[in-house]
Amino acid sequence: MAITEDIFRAYDIRGVVENALTPDAVQQIGQAFATEALSQNQKTVVIGRDGRLSSPELAQRLSAGLRAGGCDVIDIGMVPTPVLYYATHKLKTGTGIMVTGSHNPPQYNGLKMLIAGNTLYGDGIKALYRIIVEDRVNNGEGTHTDQDILPDYLDTIVNDIKLEKPLNIAVDCGNGVAGVVATELFTRLGCNVTELFCDVDGNFPNHHPDPSKPENLLDLQNTMKENTLDIGLAFDGDGDRVGILDDKQNILWADRQMMLYAADVLKRKPGALIIFDIKSTTNLATYIKNLGGEPLMWKTGHSFIKAKMKETGAELAGEMSGHIFFKERWFGFDDGLYS
């Protein structure tokens, strides 16, 4: 079956499941990814999936393609995207694929990919398309194993973070996959949690799971008005971004969040390099400088930011969409739950 080039985007692979990102296409991409991974001496691939209705079948076909290409697959099941990133560190594979449509409408799905610790973007994603259309796929026979990494992920965060006082919080998961972990995580950290839409439902019946749009925070704001709460947290569809409301229900945009994170990180890492995207307020650079840090503005896009972090050794990075990357005490990937 012919595969369309349109789904091979700058930061990921993405498309409407019935039209372009079909199960057959995902299996072909899996085999092409295996071919590229093996060329970089990467044989084991971790895969995870979000809560979309199409994700179980796509993950199954992805595994089939990877194994047909000669890679061994570790399937960690339905998890937020940052848990997939965590698994590639914990299991020492460095290589993984997340089946997720992120914050896109229900009919969409996609793939976020990394090989040997490097996020695939731009030419790296286009290379997979060329492997398919030029029929250069490797043929092999890999294995498939299932592994539950969520308890380990939770333990790692809970053991790292201690709250100064218990907090009363509201958590809106927008029926996205963050719902499988958010309540347990914040409860174990000592918070009293008021839940909104934490049941995973790929139809997203309540509101769109994109906290960067103010209209998607209205339910959270109303809940906070009705209760005495310290903070409100809203996660996107795959849990790698977070929106924050303060105790007055005001939106704390990502560049303002970065000021708080920078102040915290610079206490332990004086002079640290901190990256932010071009959409952030110009006040952020001044703020970082005044705290003794080194600010660096970089182009928007989570793949670009991650690559620049790796290149420069930055301890912290963030962009206005809500992707926040902690290297200090964490692993340098975007994780809305950890943030």
Same-domain check for residues 58 and 141: yes
Q: Which of 54, 55, 102, 339 is catalytic?
A: 102
pLDDT digits (tens, 9 = 90+) for 27-77: 999 999 999 999 999 999 999 999 999 999 999 999 999 999 999 999 999
- Cβ atoms of 133 and 3 closer than 8 Å: yes
Mean pLDDT value across the chain = 96
Here the CATH number for the domain that contains residue 189 is: 3.40.120.10
Same-domain check for residues 15 and 141: yes
Check residue 302 and give its pLDDT: 79
- Domain final position from 196, 219, 252: 252
Q: Provide the domain count of the chain.
A: 3
The single-letter DSSP state of residue 215 is: G
Catalytic residue flag (residue 102): yes
* 76 domain residue, yes or no: yes
Residue 115 pLDDT greater than 90, yes or no: yes
Same-domain check for residues 121 and 12: yes
Residue 329 pLDDT greater than 90, yes or no: no
Q: Which of 61, 67, 302, 323 is catalytic?
A: 323
Q: Beta-carbon neighbour count of residue 299 at 10 Å?
A: 11
Range of the structural domain that residue 213 is part of: 161-252
pLDDT digits (tens, 9 = 90+) for 222-262: 999 999 999 999 999 999 999 999 999 999 999 999 999 99
Q: Which of 14, 52, 241, 302 is catalytic?
A: 14
User: pLDDT grade, residue 338 (50/70/90)?
Assistant: confident
Percent of the chain whose predicted confidence (pLDDT) is above 70: 100
Same-domain check for residues 135 and 50: yes
Same-domain check for residues 52 and 136: yes
Check residue 1 and give its pLDDT: 58
Same-domain check for residues 137 and 179: no
Same-domain check for residues 82 and 211: no
Length of the chain equals 339
Same-domain check for residues 258 and 132: no
Check residue 39 and give its pLDDT: 98
Same-domain check for residues 56 and 145: yes
Residue 100 pLDDT greater than 90, yes or no: yes
Taking the C-alpha atoms of residue 284 and residue 290, their distance in angstroms, rounded to an integer, is 10
User: pLDDT grade, residue 332 (50/70/90)?
Assistant: confident
Same-domain check for residues 109 and 235: no
* 336 domain residue, yes or no: no
What mean pLDDT is predicted for residues 271-285? Answer: 96
pLDDT digits (tens, 9 = 90+) for 299-321: 988 788 988 999 999 999 999 99
Letter for the amino acid at 42?
Answer: Q
Same-domain check for residues 143 and 9: yes
Check residue 301 and give its pLDDT: 83
What mean pLDDT is predicted for residues 269-298? Answer: 96
Check residue 304 and give its pLDDT: 86
Residue 334 pLDDT greater than 90, yes or no: no
* 110 domain residue, yes or no: yes
* 338 domain residue, yes or no: no
Taking the C-alpha atoms of residue 16 and residue 157, their distance in angstroms, rounded to an integer, is 35
* 274 domain residue, yes or no: yes
Check residue 333 and give its pLDDT: 83
The contacts of residue 129 (CB under 8 Å, 6+ apart) are 3, 5, 8, 32
What mean pLDDT is predicted for residues 166-173? Answer: 97
Six-digit token string for 234: 């809203």
Same-domain check for residues 101 and 24: yes
Check residue 44 and give its pLDDT: 99
Check residue 336 and give its pLDDT: 85
What mean pLDDT is predicted for residues 113-123? Answer: 94
* 139 domain residue, yes or no: yes
- Domain final position from 149, 179, 208: 149
- Domain final position from 226, 252, 278: 252
* 339 domain residue, yes or no: no
* 156 domain residue, yes or no: no
- Cβ atoms of 211 and 337 closer than 8 Å: no
- Cβ atoms of 194 and 169 closer than 8 Å: yes
DSSP character string of 259-309: HHHHHHHHHHSTT-EEEEETTS-THHHHHHHHTT-EEEEE-S-HHHHHHHH
